[in-house]
Amino acid sequence: MAVQRRSVSLDLSLISMFSVLLFISSLFTKYTSGYGAIFYAIFLLTGALVIGRPLSATIISVIAGLIYSLQSQLFLLMLGTFFIRGLVLDLIFIPTRAYERARSENPGRSLMAISMISMVLSGFMAGIYQYFFLVLFLGKLVDFGAFIVSTIFLVSIISNIIAAYIVVKYLLPKLRSHGWL
């Protein structure tokens, strides 16, 4: 059976929708001191897998980051956090064929493992950028100390694992049954 491709206009609409959802969830994360990060992870992963084209995660993240930069005191410095998050996802998803696996009828545990590893690494790398570049190097954000930073990283790891589990186990099958994948 031939794979049917969606129209470019539908993909652009999906990119717009998921970018806005990512922006809104990043505001929610900011104002809840990071407790809303799971929503950010869910929207990023779902958007990337639903669009399913190479660089989907990067495009969604960069657009959300540009919108976020317009309201941030750090302006375009925050774009790096978004860009790194999407780029790391794509750098893992493309060679592991995660986008193709998401479209298959039974993606199995491999997509779950790839998604969990990708989300954790992308969150970790974005956090490294933010901490070392924005906090330590530029001094633009407050350094809360090793304990709090370690706790933030631990919460990020747990949130990203849970988000990947929710998306692959529950959201993708529902989206597939409705013809979105």
pLDDT in 10s for each residue of the chain, 181 residues: 445 667 889 999 999 999 999 999 999 988 876 678 899 999 999 999 999 999 999 999 999 999 999 998 888 888 999 999 999 999 999 999 999 999 887 887 899 999 999 999 999 999 889 888 877 777 777 667 777 778 878 888 999 999 999 999 999 999 988 887 7
The H or E element spanning position 41 is: helix 37-51
| 2 belongs to a structural domain | no
DSSP 122: H
| 140 belongs to a structural domain | yes
| 141 belongs to a structural domain | yes
| 1 belongs to a structural domain | no
| 75 belongs to a structural domain | yes
| 3 belongs to a structural domain | no
Domains contained in the chain, number: 1
48-to-18, 54, 62, 114 alpha-carbon distances in Å: 9, 9, 12, 13
Burial 32-49 (b: 16+ CB within 10 A, else e): eeeebbbbbbbbbbbbbb
Burial of 31 from C-beta contacts in 10 A (0-12 / 13-18 / 19+): exposed
| 55 belongs to a structural domain | yes
In terms of residue numbers, what domain contains 31?
8-177
| 167 belongs to a structural domain | yes
For the entire predicted model, the pTM comes to 0.90
CA–CA dist 14, 48 (Å, integer): 10
